[in-house]
Structure 1
Amino acid sequence: MRRLWLEQAFLPEGWASGVALDIDGSGRIAGLAANAPLADRETVPGCVLPGLPNLHSHGFQRAMSALAQRRRAAAEDFWSWRGVMYRTALALPPDDIAAVTAMAFMEMLERGFTAVAEFHYLHNDSAGAPYADPAELATRVIEAAAQTGIGLTLLPVLYSAAGPNRPPEPGQRRFITDLDGFLRLHAATAERLRALPGAVLGAAPHSLRAARAADVAALSGLLPEGPLHIHAAEQTGEVAEVEAALGARPVEFLLREAGVDARWCLIHATHMTAEETAGLARAGAVAGLCPITEADLGDGIFNGNAFIDAGGRFGVGTDSNVAIEAPAELRQLEWSQRLRDRRRLVLADSARDGGSTGAALYRAALAGGAQALAQPIGAIALGCRADLVSLRRAGTDLAALSAETRLDHYIFAGGARLVDHVYVAGRCLVREGRHDARAAIESRFAAALRRLEDAL
């Protein structure tokens, strides 16, 4: 039993002082008391938050964050960015995939995330041939999670086509598998994942562009357990292509044909009608928002206020990992709503936490992220895993600000530079903002990045 004492902690009911935690052998909170004496407990200083779940990541894309910022055509968009992504995917050998993914996972931990849903669609070798072990590259993701200590929900991806009724393109050859091959891959991944305590296995049909509609509709029945994630309505071109092929817009089709419910997380869902927005909220699914990547790719702005007003649930993710920072994703989400509506404090909850916008965003992303990852996380509460992020108070604005303003400062002003110590399952991985294994992970990543830039 590990015994911690949190100076200040954000509990489900609000901020509390002197919170004593007892953490069992599985890393879950077995005892909790506020206003408790320090006694012989290990002190976690500062303001302690539940770690934020990252509900959408493509770890290998961390390698291209700078390499996709050069203008090569008169007009650059998502589709031209995708060409750089294809070349990156084809150029990375298995060891470098592990190195790049570990770098992304480590940075997530240093910047406020404690668990990640890895949307993993690199399956084949660079020639497009399956590995002898179908889970060869999934195992590299598992290795990266083990090395960094981040909580992992692994989502092998079904990716079969270039678009509705269109065969795969050469640049997609590392991704491609049919439904039978995907089910074998999923089973092999399940075996490998047993070695990682607390890990969860789900599945992800890539999108209605890249997976057969009939396969998407059948997947929840074929895999009755675990979360299901899918890209949906990210780009207007995607919406038009799917509607022309299937006679329905992507979210409309999924709600009607795929049995979307609380197991599902629809990534982006940027371009929805009012009817789709209300329908997705009623279904109890999570909208997986990646505001920094969506801004980087020029995707558009999610209709967050309408979705939340309809009772919708959301979480945030880092997607392409172009800039990894938990509070910045929430900040960008709120700012996008302000830019669209030309008003302020759009997603605040005036009835709770003193009307704090930061607290409203953080609470919602905790709950939506925990649901999307299907893990016992998202709160400092009995039975939850002890995933904790402490923010420095000494020498920062947090030393002077009232409790109800702390999350506003973290999200809108202080940012991830405030992150001090980070625990996953009660184990301290980040101390004074630096991951314990940073030197080794950074060295492997730098070597992989040099090789990649030479190859591109």
Structure 2
Amino acid sequence: MKIFAERVLLSEGWKSKQTLTIENGIIISITSGKDESAECVGTVIPGMVNCHSHAFQRAFAGFSEQGSDGQDSFWTWRNVMYQFLANLTAEDAKTIATQLYIEMLKSGYTRVAEFHYLHHDINGQPYSNLATMAEAIFEASEQSGIGLTLLPVLYQYSGFGQLPPNAGQKRFINQTNTFNNLVSDCYQLSQKFGNTNVGIAPHSLRAVDKSSLQDAVAHIRALDSEAPIHIHIAEQQKEVDDCLNYYQQRPVQWLLNNFQLDPQWCLIHATHINEQERDDLIATKAIAGICPTTEANLGDGIFPTAEFLAQGGTIAIGSDSHISVNPVEELRWLEYAQRLIKQQRALLATLEQPSVGQYLWAHTAKIGAQSTNSNTGELAVGKQADLLVLDENKLSLFAARDAHVLDSLIFATQNNVISDVMVNGKWCIRNGAHAIEQQASAAFAQLLKQVSQSL
């Protein structure tokens, strides 16, 4: 397959009139000029990687916005989540994930890291096939066409000090040996499904202890020495306070002191991080996984993004609870939160790359690929062909010089300007549409109607 791009954002920057040759999902050559056999497209940019997703939560977006006399918080939001998922089946999980992944593709995500913790049946009992729920996620990724990094979640306790799990968490809980067996089963599944891989996600320091975390890390690294390891950490101030009370250390500080972090670790949120933790985290080359729309929706707080990036830190973005499924909105709010704090503009850029939009898109796509251990995130020879084609008619209504394209995309456009999406060398979205989106949305809408009656 060959495509001719009038302009394309390559790893070294914008280039005009380039032909990309793709074989077996990989870009094998990029040459100047038009190959007569190539399909002609306009503006091409790399696909975005979503570093943090809880797929089932897409189905209760909008159900948790009722007021509570100023008493609502992340912790009360969780109760709505527990109530919602109590009766979801594996088929329901597949229906939700398929709808979500099509939405992701249409908005520009070409790969997702699925932080998957809905493991057991509605009674909290393990399925005879431990990976039943996980297999539903693999099938949804296959049907939609999105690349998948599955991260089975180790979840054992309801709070620091190995507090017993509450009733709402019964579908999440695994002992370490069972969890490691589940991970092995998922690893085997990933050999059957194309464009997928497996890591792990210890849920949080409040949900696992040191010994179980050590065992889980050792197990996945025995299967794959570069497997991604993601963990929620320091998302809420209460979590920091509880960690201080139990460990006498802050969460990121404790993790850094007890584990050898590396570039395959991704610390999700890390919202409440102090300067010493920030500096020490940067030194490990681990990633901060930021989810601006969910962090805003849950009232988490704001990550010190400007300082973290200025000192050489790396970040990826995720849609987390899917209150928004749009990388443009995530990046817009990543920058806007810093502007509101600092009362300045155009903060997340560099002297080498003064375009905020271009810097953020290129950085988070590349680091998102690192967070999933996938050969994606930038367009170059040897990389997987995960790319987006922008609608020239819509782009023409905004500043459209090379230097302004991604600034316009992120800060000026209100409607989706992505017309076509390729994943692993295959077109998943053409002219803004997915081949199965109508049946997927109909099934999802029917499920939503049933679920809403129980809330």
* Structure 2 residue 47 is the aligned partner of structure 1 residue 48: no
Task: Give the conservation status (yes or no) of the 8 Å contact 1:393–1:399.
Answer: no
C-alpha separation between the residues in 2 aligned to 1:167 and 1:3? 56
- Matched to 1:325, the amino acid is N
Choose 231-240 or 400-409, whichever is displaced more. Answer: 400-409
Q: Conserved in 1, the CA contact under 8 Å of 2:176 and 2:215?
A: no
Gaps of 5+ in 2: none
Deviations 1:234-280 (A, max 9, x none): 00001111121122111111111121111100000000010001111
Q: String of CA shifts for 1:287-313, please: whole Å, max 9, x gaps.
A: 000000000000000001111122101
Query: What secondary structure is seen at the aligned counterpart in 2 of 1:429?
Result: strand
SS at match of 1:447: helix
Distance in 2 of aligned mates of 1:232 and 1:340? 22
Q: Does 1:453 align with 2:452?
A: yes
Q: Deviations over 1:178-230 (max 9, x none)?
A: 11110011111112222211211100100001111322244332321211000
1:135 is matched with which residue: 123, 126, 131?
131
List structure 1 segments (4+ residues) > 3 angstroms apart after TM superposition: 395-400
Distance, in Å, in 1 between the alignment partners of 2:34 and 2:42 is 16
Q: TM-score, normalised by structure 2?
A: 0.96
The one-letter amino acid paired with 1:92 is L
Distance 1:219 1:262 in 2: 18
Aligned equivalent of 1:215: 212
Q: CA deviation at 1:416?
A: 5.5
Kept after mapping to 2: 8 A contact 1:326/1:416: no
Q: In structure 2, the residue corresponding to 1:192 is in which secondary structure?
A: helix
SS in 2 for 1:207: coil
Structure-2 separation of matches of 1:8 and 1:309: 29
Kept in 2, the 8 Å contact 1:149–1:424? The answer is: yes
Cα deviation per residue 1:25-84 (whole Å; 9 max; x = unaligned)?
2x1111111x322401122x2311100000000000000111111224541110111111
The residue type paired with residue 343 of structure 2 is: R
- Note closer, same or farther for the CA distance 1:271–1:3 as it changes in structure 2 (3 Å cut): same
Deviation at 1:350, TM superposition (A): 2.5
| Structure-1 separation of matches of 2:444 and 2:298 | 24
Cα distance in structure 1, aligned partners of 2:191 and 2:71: 46
Contact 1:112 1:416 survives alignment (8 Å): no
User: Structure 1 residue 366: deviation in Å?
Assistant: 1.4
- Structure 1, residues 347-394: CA drift from partner, whole Å, max 9, x if none? 111222xx1010111121012101001000011101111001111112
* SS of equivalent residue, structure 2 residue 178: helix
Q: 1:89 and 1:218 mapped to 2: Cα distance?
A: 28
Distance in structure 1 (CA, Å) of the matches to 2:28 and 2:35: 17
Instruction: Using the TM superposition, give the Cα deviation of residue 455 of structure 1 relative to its aligned residue in structure 2, in angstroms.
Output: 2.1
Give the match for residue 192 of structure 1.
Answer: 189
What's 1:339 paired with?
340
AA matched with 1:233 = A
Judge conservation of contact 2:316–2:367 (CA < 8 Å) in 1. yes
What is the correspondence of 1:292-371 to structure 2 with a 5 Å cutoff? 292-352=293-353, 355-371=354-370
For residues 407 and 218 of structure 1, the distance between their equivalents in structure 2, rounded to whole angstroms, comes to: 43
Contact 1:392 1:420 survives alignment (8 Å): yes
1:224-243 matches, within 5 Å, as 224=221, 225=224, 226-243=227-244
Q: Report the 3-state secondary structure (helix = DSSP H, G, I; strand = E; otherwise coil) of the residue aligned with 1:237.
A: helix
Contact 2:27 2:382 in 1 (8 A): yes
Task: State the match for 1:444 in structure 2.
Answer: 443
Letter in 1 for 2:196: A
Go from structure 1 to structure 2 and tell me whether the alpha carbon gap of 1:74 and 1:298 turns closer, same or farther (over 3 Å shift).
closer
Mapped pair 1:92 → 2:92: no
Kindly tell me the number of residue pairs found equivalent between the two proteins: 450
Q: Give yes or no for contact 1:121–1:157 (8 Å, CA) kept in 2.
A: yes
Q: Is the 8 A contact 1:422 1:428 kept in 2?
A: yes
Separation in structure 2 between the aligned mates of residue 219 and residue 312 of structure 1, nearest angstrom: 26
Match of 1:83 among 79, 84, 88: 79
Cα-to-partner distance string for 1:155-180 (whole Å, 9 max, x where unaligned): 00000010112110000001011111
Root-mean-square deviation (Å): 1.3
Tell me which residue corresponds to 2:411: 412
